[in-house]
Structure 1
């Protein structure tokens, strides 16, 4: 038996939970290899005046912790949002980011009834439009020349990475080794790879190599063979511990990265969560567009 999922946007107002499927999955390595093999197209180059458009439709856990005034009150919702970014051909020029808290909200649980658990409004960073060269939307000082040392927003960052899956897998381990040792988190290489894919900026050839590298990591399994994120269906490749399962959703037919999902484990981070509860998901869409504000 492998996990399935009730649609997050079902409109019930309650937290989605993992279901089940009787379909026998292939191995994670088989699915990731199939997805890597399916990536045959090259990335569409940007012409002058064009932008990379990256849209993230997200349902994320919004935790309201105990306070001095209400020390016994602790609860969480699943909250819907949209994040859109327009990235220019020359990344040293101005980027635009728009964030919106959407109407969707689902009760995850708490130490009090939902009727006694108001959902706070969005913070300033959760909504509005921001502009900044190099994607520096919240910086108090201008970014350095050339946007500084290349990071995951910079094409040079990806150009420098090896396309050899073995080398790439070791790079993921080395890159996260300090944090893994400090926090005892063995699955950080997988989490870091998902964060890179979430940017929407990983070139097609590197995405294929990254899938093959993920297949070499310890503990990577198939959690679900049919996850529907905003109408796009893919396979969930996952790592998990007793607290949580983190899933990469990929379409093995064409190699598309669809998004990610998190599911509560057998000992959830919050005791009021039932094991198998979907605690968040993101659907990622990337396109080349002709201007800021364009989405197709």
Structure 2
């Protein structure tokens, strides 16, 4: 299972089950709606050109230099809109807005810290007022562990776990093939059964990039592997919700679109989205159902707010 902790599904407030039952054939609003391209906008370069430019820029980049006591700061702001079973065949529509912060020491063998909290109150669709209403917030959760291993067993060396895409340890990174086609095959093989493997491969790569643990040459290899995805398109310049603008590359399948947003000028990964390209369960086309924006910086110590954002992450 992924070593990255995720908040447990929140327990809905006592009144929710009785009064906030959703009939999912009504408009529920949107998490975010896409803006149409500006008239006369200049033609965008294709996905291969964008990803190769990002790969070359990543290869020229270098990891941040930390002073004694400083830590790397990695934050992912994630917003979701999902249907949650409420019993008796009923479903609730729930919006969650969470912030996952991680402090990574210069020596990865030292203790890491990860903290998960609500970035905004969770919301549930109220069928009577035809709007979303605030629900009880989830408690802040915090984990500590050497080498970023927050759930290591006592018999397990936390710094030698094999890792996976969501937890790219040095051991995992060492197994990744250098050839882009072989790397893409590895991404596809990791996709869950029953899903569209190319779309899941794009999102799997995004989850690895989201941890901000990949060395620049490996990030470049992932970009070159994604450039081989058939059907991948440049969907325009846009910002992930709570993120900054970049170039979005998307892959459509069965009424959904998965997108990865990068800055090809410096090879920085900015975030990902999943949205609807056709109406579904009362949600209109263009609704973003899942979005994650990455922010990185340097903090003076574990648990302390960053005092310096990387130049590439400044808007």
Q: Where on the TM-score scale, by shorter chain, does this alignment land: which range?
A: 0.7 to 0.9
Deviation at residue 287 of structure 1 after TM alignment: 2.9
Q: 1:37 to 1:106 in 2, by over 3 A?
A: farther
Is 2:260 the partner of 1:243? no
Is 2:63 the partner of 1:43? yes
Q: 1:50 to 1:60 in 2, by over 3 A?
A: same
| Matching residue of 1:16 | 32
| Matching residue of 1:7 | none
Could you tell me how far apart the structure 2 residues matched to 1:238 and 1:14 are? 19
Deviation at residue 119 of structure 1 after TM alignment: 4.5
Could you tell me how far apart the structure 2 residues matched to 1:141 and 1:149 are? 11
Give matches, 1:1-296, under 5 Å: 15-21=31-37, 22=39, 23=41, 24-39=43-58, 40-44=60-64, 49-68=69-88, 71-72=89-90, 74-103=91-120, 112-114=127-129, 118-124=133-139, 127-137=140-150, 139=151, 141-142=153-154, 144-151=156-163, 152-176=167-191, 179=192, 182-187=193-198, 188-227=200-239, 229-230=241-242, 232-268=244-280, 271-292=281-302, 293-295=304-306, 296=308
Could you tell me how far apart the structure 2 residues matched to 1:259 and 1:143 are? 36
Could you tell me how far apart the structure 2 residues matched to 1:155 and 1:47 are? 22
Could you tell me how far apart the structure 2 residues matched to 1:105 and 1:95 are? 27
Could you tell me how far apart the structure 2 residues matched to 1:288 and 1:75 are? 39
Count, aligned residues: 270
Q: 1:116 to 1:251 in 2, by over 3 A?
A: closer
Q: 1:77 to 1:172 in 2, by over 3 A?
A: same
Could you tell me how far apart the structure 1 residues matched to 2:64 and 2:178 are? 19
TM-score, length basis structure 2:
0.74
Q: Please, which runs of 5 or more residues in structure 1 have no aligned partner?
A: 1-12
Is residue 65–residue 75 contact of structure 1 (8 Å, CA) maintained in 2?
yes
Deviation at residue 294 of structure 1 after TM alignment: 4.1
Could you tell me how far apart the structure 2 residues matched to 1:281 and 1:122 are? 20
| Matching residue of 2:21 | none
Q: 1:184 to 1:79 in 2, by over 3 A?
A: closer
Q: CA RMSD in A?
A: 2.8
Q: Please, which runs of 5 or more residues in structure 2 have no aligned partner?
A: 1-28, 309-315
Could you tell me how far apart the structure 2 residues matched to 1:184 and 1:100 are? 30
The one-character-per-residue Cα deviations of 1:189-247 (angstroms, maximum 9, x if unpaired) are 22211111111111111111111110102221122223355462101111221232111
Could you tell me how far apart the structure 2 residues matched to 1:227 and 1:33 are? 21
Is residue 58–residue 280 contact of structure 1 (8 Å, CA) maintained in 2?
yes
Could you tell me how far apart the structure 2 residues matched to 1:89 and 1:143 are? 25
The one-character-per-residue Cα deviations of 1:108-142 (angstroms, maximum 9, x if unpaired) are x68x3455865442445xx23322234343x3833
TM-score, length basis structure 1:
0.79
Q: Mean alpha-carbon deviation: is it higher for 218-227 or for 207-216? A: 218-227
Deviation at residue 58 of structure 1 after TM alignment: 2.0
Is residue 262–residue 280 contact of structure 1 (8 Å, CA) maintained in 2?
yes
